[in-house]
Amino acid sequence: MKDFHQLIEKAKELEEKCLFRRAANTYSEAIDWALTDEERERCALDANRCSREARLPNRAEGL
């Protein structure tokens, strides 16, 4: 079973590897596991940031 903090750590690892689309999906999944509104808001902001980053030109996933 996944928990919120595990998902956040996984998303951060994916970001470090420049896997922004996957990180955004992981942050979105973490929203469902968040216990507070503050956690949900932070996940939404991070997911949106990663989605924007993934759409940037010359930002092929995993390269």
Reading the chain (63 residues) residue by residue, the pLDDT tens digits are 579 999 999 999 999 999 999 999 999 999 999 999 999 999 999 999 999 999 987 766 655
Q: Determine the Cα–Cα distance for residues 36 and 33; give it in Å rounded to an integer.
A: 9
- Closest by CA to 61, choosing from 25, 17, 24, 28, is 17
pLDDT of residue 58: 72
pTM equals 0.87
Judge whether 47 and 24 are in contact, CB under 8 Å.
yes
Amino acid code (one letter) for 42: R
Q: Determine the Cα–Cα distance for residues 2 and 29; give it in Å rounded to an integer.
A: 10
Q: Determine the Cα–Cα distance for residues 39 and 28; give it in Å rounded to an integer.
A: 11
